[in-house]
Amino acid sequence: MAGNKNYLNRRDVLKGIGVGLVGVTFGGKIFGPVGSRAAVSSPLVKEGQLYQKVTKPARVSLVKGNDRREIVYQTLKKIEDEVLGSIGDKKILIKPNMVQVKTPLCATHVDAIRAILDFLRPHYKSEIIIGESTAARTSTFDGFKNYGYLALEKEYNVKLVDLNRDTYQYRYVFGRGNRPLPIRIISTFLDPNIYIISAARMKTHDRVLTTLSLKNVLLGSPLNDYKKNDKWQVHTGQRAVNTLCHYNMFHLAQEVYPDLGVIDGFVGMEGNGPVGGTAFDSRVALASRDALAADIVATKIMGFDPKRILYLTSLTEAGLGQGELEKINVVGTPMSQCQYHFKPEKHMAELYNL
């Protein structure tokens, strides 16, 4: 597969930006294992600025229909050249969302994963990993079993992996009083040779209003070794429109970022998400090489204003994707046919006056 230079180098640029951010935070001295990736290699630094908004339009595929597997597949077919041209010789990781292992509505439906594999298998013959790092106290494989994922290994010759058993590297996030907290980040999410596909379910959230393709990967990257769960450290602080969870996701995104965002909204979750909400029958699916753009469109479809969600606006300002709706080209079903009003989580409804 031919490489797409505009996107293949993107995660390397993000890593360079991340080093710059760490250096600024600690008075100019570079800390941590990413220190060897000099920030001066980033073209943004050469221009005398750390961040620069993306000006190039992004493309988001949106399909509405009556079959989950078919609409997810069609979203990928509509951007096929863009996706296949970006994989190169990287290993593929499909990262579903399984917050808990016994609540089907909170997890990515197995047929959405089948649709992604239907799309990939005719073109990609190497091993594909389906890896998850549940926040539950029991094994990710309980989720694979309960949600029907085990059959995928024989159907598609893929490998199921509990990423909570992976090695890790230390980074930091901020906690109460803005004190830095060490956090263990699963090594797979930091590997530039891994092509990360975020396969998320469209859901509301109790801290940052929505959880879609970006949050699926960013909050999936901290380790939960079933004795200590570092994922909760990202959520530190009281609920607020500007809660630390927004900043911590922004901070992690300097190094952890999906290469492809796929959002299954065939049946989403509204209300007390990301686990305890109720089903919302929206019958849509989205896909984009720009995960931020995909999340912006999905947020708008859910009936929320993406400009009010701090982690989305921060990533937009930092140039980690195209976050301006007017610069996103939606292909497939017109957005006008996919406008809904998801009920927000109760605390978010109060904070956002929804």
Contact 95, 131 (CB under 8 A): yes
DSSP string over 267-318: EEEESSTTTS-EEE---EEEEESSHHHHHHHHHHHTT--GGG-HHHHHHHHT
Pairing of strands 260-270, 278-280: antiparallel
DSSP string over 208-276: TEEE-HHHHHHTTSB-B-SS-BTHHHHT-S---TT-HHHHHHHHHTTT---SEEEEEEEEEEESSTTTS
Q: How far apart are the C-alpha atoms of 5 and 22, rounded to whole Å?
A: 26
Domain ranges of the chain: 5-351
**Model pTM above 0.85:** yes
- Render each residue's pLDDT in the chain as its tens digit; 354 residues: 433 333 334 454 444 333 333 333 322 322 222 322 223 333 444 556 677 889 999 999 999 999 999 999 999 999 999 999 999 999 999 999 999 999 999 999 999 999 999 999 999 999 999 999 999 999 999 999 999 999 999 999 999 999 999 999 999 999 988 899 999 999 999 999 999 999 999 999 999 999 999 999 999 999 999 999 999 999 988 899 999 999 999 999 999 999 999 999 999 999 999 999 999 999 999 999 999 999 999 999 999 999 999 999 999 999 999 999 999 999 999 999 999 999 999 999 999 999
